[in-house]
Amino acid sequence: MSLLAQVSGNVTAIAYGLAAIGPGIGVGIIFGQGVQAIARNPEAYGLIRQNMLLGFVLTEALALIGLVAPFILAGVGS
């Protein structure tokens, strides 16, 4: 039984690692496109920055859900 518990812990770590890939790519795209938009239209800095931060917050919420979900699902299974 100890081997099963050890595998379960490793699966949780792998699940969070996989769940962090999507938000990581999303944050990179958000800030990359935001900087590009500011460079093209510096007068709209405030609006672009506001939308960039809103997108960042929503994307990071997915990463936090990905952090919590494997632990909740591991607890339900046992």
Instruction: Give 8-51 pLDDT, tens digit per residue.
Output: 667 777 777 788 888 889 999 999 999 999 999 999 999 999 99
Q: Quick one: pLDDT at residue 50? A: 96
Level-2 CATH architecture, domain 7-77:
Up-down Bundle (1.20)
Q: Quick one: pLDDT at residue 25? A: 93
What residue segments make up the domains of the chain, in order of their start? 7-77
Strand residues in 1-78 grouped as ranges (E): none
Q: How far apart are CA 53 and CA 33, in angstroms?
A: 12
**Span 43-69, mean pLDDT?**
91
| Measured CA distances, 62 to 33, 34, 40 (Å) | 20, 20, 29
Torsional class of 4: left (φ above 0), alpha (ψ -120 to 50), beta (otherwise)? alpha
